[in-house]
Amino acid sequence: MLFERWERFWALATMEYRRGELPRGDEDAMRGVRGASAAWRPGSGALPLDFPLISRQQELGNLGAYLSPLRRAGLVIDGSLRPSPAGLDIIDGFWDEPAENKHWRRYEDYALLALDRRRTKIERSSANLTLRRVGKASRLSSLAARGRAAQQRRLYEALFERARDPSTLAVSRLVETATRAGVVATRELLDGAIAGRFGTIDGALRDLLVTARRFGDAMQAPLVAFDRVYVALNAAGRTAPASQVASTALDAATMTAVRQACTGLLEAPRVNELRGLPMHGSPCIRLAEELAAADGATALAALLHYHALVQRERRRGDGWIRAEAGKLVLMVASYTARPDAARFPSFKLDTVRSLLADTDRLPSETAPVADEGES
């Protein structure tokens, strides 16, 4: 698919600009950074365009992983692959403002070479334009680093001001206010927003935030319980009676936390909307219903059933723990269980914070730098 070829070209360009140094968590790190890192090598020779970038590419539906949010943002016309007028404005300014960079079409010509299906490699320069220069112009931190105010304004308007869901702009403003107040932890941010510490919120937004807060607890408590089951089974030699594992891992304190979290979720104001979410929405709520009244033994069975279901839906095979005649057998021993770690979900608020920095609504760690001459 052409989009996959573009992703590889862009990832290689970013790696070239960073000279192969792009650790996970870096401001320029992209999905598939390990694949790009393995394909890139120092020197001046051509680089491959046929390497695996994202292992779940087919599962995610290639462009489909991006297409739905692009349509929701009004950047791609519904039911098509055609960019909207707003999308075209952003595309036209992708490399630079056309009026400010007379060489911008060379970037497009270079990218089109990478999209040629007959090519298995891409040279590190084309028409006096280097792959490193392409990476500098398009890496994830380039908007803030290059001080691209016009493009930042277009993106902020599309992603936040004109968002179809009215809660998007309201939540972004809460994140902005909370971040400036030094609050970045998701649980603390939600609690502060619900309490009105970051500005006035209406009833609909409050219901959304309360539901998110309770979902976070209902996600964390069963995950802690699953990790305790995993640790107990692994410590027992990877096989043990189910009753033994349940009594060891799912003790009274653990089950109290699980039941309280799941009951809270089921009483949340917008819980029914969660049932209709794609992939695991309905099974997740069924799990909460089962765990809200479960003892250790029934909770163990419910957790293992849900885990196996999620694994199959993700096309990752069966669950990691198999039940056999009253015993449990650990089938995957490579998982690092963390029952004592905080596992509250981020709800992508970290992504919102990153986008606000990219669009110049929050301070960025990347200081604007002057462009170098063409190379």
Placement of tokens 């949340």 in the chain: 268
Beta bridge partners of residue 44, listed in sequence order: none
Q: What is the DSSP letter of 335?
A: -
CA distance 116 to 102: 24
Provide the residue-wise pLDDT of the chain in tens; the chain has 375 residues: 788 899 999 999 999 999 999 887 888 988 888 889 999 999 999 999 998 887 554 444 556 668 888 998 999 999 898 999 999 999 999 999 888 877 888 999 999 999 999 999 999 999 999 999 999 999 999 999 999 999 999 999 999 999 988 899 999 999 999 999 999 999 999 999 999 999 999 999 999 999 999 999 999 999 999 999 999 999 999 999 999 999 999 999 999 999 999 999 999 999 999 998 887 899 999 999 999 999 999 999 999 999 999 998 887 788 999 999 999 999 999 999 999 987 899 999 999 999 999 999 998 765 444 444 444
End residue of a domain, out of 90, 114, 140: 140
The answer to whether residue 239 is domain-embedded is yes
Together in a domain, 15 and 104: yes
Nearest to 316 by CA among 298, 299, 335, 303: 335
End residue of a domain, out of 140, 164, 190: 140
The answer to whether residue 278 is domain-embedded is yes
Together in a domain, 127 and 255: no
The answer to whether residue 362 is domain-embedded is no
The answer to whether residue 148 is domain-embedded is no
Please check whether residue 148 is in contact with residue 142, taking contact to mean a CB–CB distance below 8 angstroms: yes
Residue 9 Cα distances to 27, 30, 117, 144, 364, angstroms: 18, 13, 13, 22, 26
Two structure tokens written together for 14: 């970013």
Together in a domain, 135 and 8: yes
The answer to whether residue 52 is domain-embedded is yes
End residue of a domain, out of 114, 140, 166: 140
Together in a domain, 131 and 6: yes
Helices and strands (DSSP H and E) totals, the chain: 18, 7
- The predicted pLDDT at position 261 comes to 98
Give how far the C-alpha of residue 313 lies from the chain's centroid of Cα atoms, to the nearest Å.
18
| Half-sphere exposure in the Cβ direction for 5 (13 Å, CA) | 16
Parent domain of 79: 2-140
Counted residue by residue, the chain has a size of 375
Together in a domain, 225 and 321: yes
Please check whether residue 345 is in contact with residue 217, taking contact to mean a CB–CB distance below 8 angstroms: no
- The predicted pLDDT at position 316 comes to 74
Two structure tokens written together for 354: 């990153």
Together in a domain, 111 and 215: no
| Domain count along the chain | 2
Q: What is the pTM of this model?
A: 0.84
Together in a domain, 215 and 129: no
CA distance 168 to 57: 27
Q: What is the DSSP letter of 150?
A: H
CA distance 83 to 70: 9
- Strand pairing of 239-241 and 321-324? unpaired
Report residue 204: phi and psi, to 5°: -65, -40
- The predicted pLDDT at position 314 comes to 81
Q: Using CB atoms within 10 Å of the CB of residue 120, give its burial: 0 to 12 exposed, 13 to 18 middle, 19+ buried.
A: exposed
Together in a domain, 120 and 27: yes
Collapsed DSSP state (helix, strand, coil) of residue 99: coil
Give how far the C-alpha of residue 115 lies from the chain's centroid of Cα atoms, to the nearest Å.
26
The answer to whether residue 286 is domain-embedded is yes
The answer to whether residue 302 is domain-embedded is yes
Which amino acid would we find at residue 122? I
Please check whether residue 221 is in contact with residue 257, taking contact to mean a CB–CB distance below 8 angstroms: yes
Two structure tokens written together for 5: 């070829």
Together in a domain, 13 and 115: yes
CA angle, 287 as apex, 285 and 292 as ends, to 5°? Answer: 95
The answer to whether residue 45 is domain-embedded is yes
Together in a domain, 6 and 136: yes
Together in a domain, 232 and 311: yes
Together in a domain, 217 and 131: no
